[in-house]
Amino acid sequence: MDTLNRWLASVRVYGQRRMLLLLALGFSSGLPFLLVYGTLSMWLKQEGLDIKTIGLFAAARMPYSLKFTWAPIIDRVPLPWLTRALGRRRAWMLVTQVCVAAAIVAIALSDPAGAPLTTAALALALAAFAASQDIVIDAYRIDLLDVDDQGAGAAATVLGYRVGMLAGSAGVLYLVGFGADWSTAYLVMAALMVVGLVATLLAREPAASPDQAPAEPARASPWQLVLQQLQTAVFAPFRDFMTRRGWYLFLSFVLLYRLGDALAAAMTNVFLLDIGFDELDIANVVKTYGLLATIIGVVLGGSLVRAIGVMRALWIAGFVQMSSNLMFSLQAWVGADLGLLVATIGVENIAGGVATAAFVAYLSGLCNKTYSATQYALLTALGGLVRNLMASTTGVLADLLGWLDFFLLTTAAAVPGLLVLYALQRLRISGLIERPGTEPPSG
């Protein structure tokens, strides 16, 4: 009965006001992502730009990879008047959302054919503002929730993010398909940013950390003030990690946990085309049905974290991820069977959703509220960098091993992360910041 009550409570949490606001903030965060390049590239193609020029626009996405470099500013620098009126997180959310909407409007009013460099500069600005919005929304979620609620918070945010991405891609294409021009479609997307703006105004500011704003030394010189700010904003977040027992283990876990999933995902579309599926099969099953399965997965993952705790949820998510990679090996052995593809993509996306919710909850629990924006941006950047570097070898590995053995290898690549997880629990280390309502470090 107690277990049933915990599961019911873990589902009911999604109806809470704060989760609905995180859903709206996730939508605001996901909306501009594809407007920077994916959707924009189709507009550029219709304007007659050549493929080489369109390809250069992909560089506009760079701010998403580099956002950790200015995350300390968002963590520490107050905004005149707004920070006093709204709080440090809500003030930055409001400013970045207004800037995102303004950048989308500017792109809508630009002339990609006549002034492509201007459109490219505006796309770069949109990416920078959107990445900054991501930083502060992630920090807001971390500051707002305790560790056990981070899974549900991650699920709500990811769900909103996916819907926002859908609006910024399929939504734009529907508008254009029904007769709107591209400029009008982008203006509609700018108007949809009101969802995030309203959520920001309705949200409450999380409680501030006691050491959020350390006092400045008396009679400090300008040079001393610069050094103090570097120490507080840049070096202190790193030092905070390294003062925790076993920091090298939990950082290793961050780098390794989703490695097998990343290796498999890098070759999924190429694999499916190679064994005989066509583009329509991939669009219907992998993209549309896969999105629904992912949403189910993140909701299940968030409920799992709340019902049994972060560390136990990571074990379940890890083994489920391994099973999804084995499904791809089975698909490689059977071939282009559509029924099996539905099963494979269902398992893969539900597993990925569960793992996303559990892993985001864990990353969030690692972050000190004083430096949550910086630390979360750093953790995601480090994990993404390692996985992207490893994923760059997948083409060579698939060619050398063949598809069946390649996906068996990606299954094995999940084992090191689980071994580190075992070591963390064996040594009773988690790295999680203990807050009211959190589970003990041993999980």
* Region 62-70 average pLDDT: 84
Sketch the domain layout of the chain as residue ranges.
13-202, 232-426
**The CATH number of domain 13-202, selected from 3.30.460.20, 3.30.43.10, 1.20.1250.20, 3.40.140.10:** 1.20.1250.20
348: helix, coil or strand?
helix
Q: Which of 100, 310, 128, 335 is nearest to 196 (CA)?
A: 100
Q: Inform me whether the pLDDT recorded for 378 exceeds 50.
A: yes
Give 305-339 pLDDT, tens digit per residue: 888 888 899 999 999 999 889 999 999 999 989 99
Burial class (CB in 10 A: 0-12, 13-18, 19+), 5: exposed
Give 83-115 pLDDT, tens digit per residue: 999 998 999 999 999 999 999 999 999 999 899
Greater pLDDT, 433 or 325: 325
Q: Which CATH class is domain 232-426?
A: mainly alpha
Average pLDDT, the chain: 83
Give 395-404 pLDDT, tens digit per residue: 788 889 999 9
pLDDT band of 227, cuts 50, 70, 90: low
**pLDDT value, residue 67:** 86
pTM score? 0.76
Percent of the chain with pLDDT over 90: 36
Give 181-210 pLDDT, tens digit per residue: 999 999 999 999 999 999 999 999 987 655
Structural Rg of the chain based on CA atoms:
22
Give 169-183 pLDDT, tens digit per residue: 888 888 988 889 999
CB 346 within 8 A of CB 295: no
Do 13-202 and 232-426 fold alike per CATH? yes
Greater pLDDT, 108 or 386: 108
pLDDT band of 243, cuts 50, 70, 90: confident
**pLDDT value, residue 229:** 54
Give 270-284 pLDDT, tens digit per residue: 788 888 887 677 777
**pLDDT value, residue 364:** 85
CA atoms of 196 and 426, how far apart (whole Å): 42
pLDDT band of 26, cuts 50, 70, 90: very high
Q: How far apart are the first and last CA of the chain?
A: 21
Beta-carbon-side half-sphere exposure of residue 91 (alpha carbons within 13 Å)? 15
